[in-house]
Structure 1
């Protein structure tokens, strides 16, 4: 695999994991978003990653799409004092598990860090190759 290929592959990984972290942060930010019972609850978003030219050493990864998960019904919570409460005192909240989101956030952060480490190592290799080329 060419050295510049490593930069391209890890760069695509950085972009994909950043979008993954963006989706997770959006899910966490909306975990307590209440809606009326006649509306739909916020649905968690998940990034779908896809390998590009797998096995060729030239590909990387890309975001193939974003999927919504969970039911639009969410979870019903009894909060009669909430301004969006229905006649029965219920409000609709998203059905998002904070522990699952935090676990995914840690995985995405680790992927981001790993790809940045590859970029750093490739940069060091380029610098070493330049010093060898100078004869020093």
Structure 2
């Protein structure tokens, strides 16, 4: 059993939120990626998390996996694009920027909250050590 379990619990949250931030930033970076109509579009990344047992009686969270969005994407008419087919269409990812920005904000706030827990626990443990030294 660890002496300071709060670091493990908050650390597991930080890891999951970091993975979520990475996935959302990939989605946003590739929102305008164009492919030929006979190729798959960029597939959005979605992180799934699950509760886990870090130690007996101490829960945490872990990344269960990465799920991919639709490879079908959406067809966009851009006849002047070099990858356009004979009808003037290209394939683009089916990613909604508004949804991705909302996910980005949620992931960022969760990441910051878990780091704040680590900071507060460190301060509390340091104060407890100082109390023990002063007696």
Cα drift, residue 48 of structure 1 = 0.7
| Distance in 2 of aligned mates of 1:106 and 1:43 | 21
Matched residue SS, 2:104: helix
| Distance in 2 of aligned mates of 1:135 and 1:29 | 54
Matched residue SS, 1:85: coil
- Point out the more displaced range, 56-65 or 35-44: 56-65
Structure 1's consecutive aligned runs of 4 or more residues displaced over 4 angstroms after TM superposition are none
In structure 2, what is the equivalent of residue 10 of structure 1? 10
* Contact 1:24–1:45, Cα closer than 8 Å, also in 2: yes
* Contact 1:5–1:57, Cα closer than 8 Å, also in 2: no
Matched residue SS, 2:42: coil
Gaps in structure 1 of 5+ consecutive residues: none
Residues 23-79 of structure 1: CA distance to partner in whole angstroms, max 9, x if unpaired? Answer: 00000000000000000001111011010129x65121100100012x222111111
Q: How does 1:10-89 map to 2 (within 5 A)?
A: 10-53=10-53, 57-69=57-69, 71-89=70-88
* Contact 1:30–1:42, Cα closer than 8 Å, also in 2: yes
| Distance in 2 of aligned mates of 1:65 and 1:128 | 39
Matched residue SS, 1:53: strand
* Contact 1:3–1:122, Cα closer than 8 Å, also in 2: no
In structure 2, what is the equivalent of residue 101 of structure 1? 100
- Point out the more displaced range, 125-134 or 56-65: 56-65
* Contact 1:8–1:60, Cα closer than 8 Å, also in 2: yes
- Root mean square deviation, CA, Å: 1.5
Q: Number of matched residues? A: 133
